[in-house]
Amino acid sequence: METTETTVPSLEITTSRQMLSWLDEQKLSIALTTYQIGKLFFLGLNPNGELSVFERTFNRCMGLCTTDNGLYMSSLYQIWRFENLLTDGRSQDGYDRLYLPQVGNTTGDLDIHDMAVDADGKLVFVNTLFGCLATLSETHSFKPLWRPPFISKLAAEDRCHLNGLAMKDGRPAYVTAVSQSDVADGWRDHRADGGIVIDVNSNDIIAGGLSMPHSPRWHNGKLWLLNSGTGDFGFIDLDTGRFEPVAFCPGYMRGLSFHGDYALVGLSKPRHNKTFSGLPLDDNLKSRQAEPRCGIQVIDLRTGDAVHWLRIEGVVDELYDVVALPGVRRPMALGFKTDEIRRVLSIEE
């Protein structure tokens, strides 16, 4: 009788030659999520200068944003607030950050995408299922804050696929959506060129003709975003409403964070389904004889060059969010799969 062995795909991470030196020089670590396998990853440096990879399991984790002493993360039906327990320069087992999931808010499955903390310390998140910006509620799934003017009612229908949020001066300023559709799941018919950017304060559509735009961010006086359906990272000229490409990235982009003159862009391998197929990205990859990658591309904003990269292969093909953690060398977090969270105790002084 013959037996066949099934191999479980492993996780393999490779980097460009100077990526780890750059993290060391910049005093920087990275957090990222992949909802594909439900993992929150922390990338930093071991004491010997090698890459430190720490992961925890959370079902369908997606949006990430930092706070003064931790971060928020969205998952399948909850939002978690993590607090760092290693304050005042303390460390534990070589880690200089220990993130504890301190508070969990049950929201239901809202398909939460981008998140940010406003100037008052309030969490604002993109409620993609209902097509609105929202915040946490102590008594309900969410409290709506704003919705696009073309969305006629709040309904759990993912009409326009609102996905991205850019803050400016501590307030929601711009959002991205894949379309202006006002019917259930209507955005899928406009993936190639129906993408828009909306000014939250004026309700004006300030840019159109985009392809699956994601991750708008205000940085150094510019509104940056990922034109994911074409593979172009760039910015919106607010005078003309035109998207100005800065760099092509070989993959489906989601997740954008900045550190000084550098952008950290998350890359995924496109899924072979109706959501990702038939986009301009396919032809752009072929014309460059490039294979799509999963990982992080570091782009120098001064030149548009991809100066460093980190590539993930094996069990992970898709990322959602990428967040820079400045001043952090080697972070870790607690989760719920092991019992160590029972033994971590702290006292508020």
The answer for residues whose C-beta is within 8 angstroms of residue 186's C-beta and 6 or more apart is 159, 160, 179
Domain that holds residue 328: 11-337
Tens of pLDDT, residues 282-325: 999 999 999 999 999 999 999 999 999 999 999 999 999 999 99
Residue 133 has pLDDT above 80, yes or no: yes
Q: Is residue 6 part of a domain?
A: no
Across the beta sheet with 162-168, the strand order is 162-168, 171-177, 195-199, 205-210
Please indicate, yes or no, if residue 31 is contained in any of the structural domains: yes
Would you say residue 140 has pLDDT above 50? yes
Assess contact for 39 and 316: CB atoms under 8 A: yes
Which residue's entry shows tokens 């570091």? 298
**Residue 178 domain-assigned (yes or no):** yes
Distance CA 69, CA 71 (A): 7
The answer to the question of residue 347 being in a domain is no
* Count of structural domains within the chain: 1
Q: Is 275 exposed, middle or buried (0-12, 13-18, 19+ CB in 10 A)?
A: middle
Separation of alpha carbons 74 and 60, rounded Å: 8
| Residue the block writes with tokens 């910015």 | 235
Q: What is the pLDDT of residue 7?
A: 52
Q: How far is Cα 280 from Cα 54, in angstroms, rounded to an integer?
A: 35
CATH of the domain at 184: 2.120.10.30
- pLDDT score for 3: 41
pLDDT band with cut points at 50, 70 and 90 for residue 144: very high
Is residue 2 situated within a structural domain?
no
Give the distance, in angstroms, between the CA of residue 88 and the centroid of all CA atoms in the same chain.
28
Which residue has 């550190």 as its token pair?
Answer: 259
> In terms of Cα–Cα distance, which of 324, 325, 320, 293 is closest to 309?
293
pLDDT of 5 over the 70 cut: no
According to the model, what pLDDT value does residue 125 have? 98
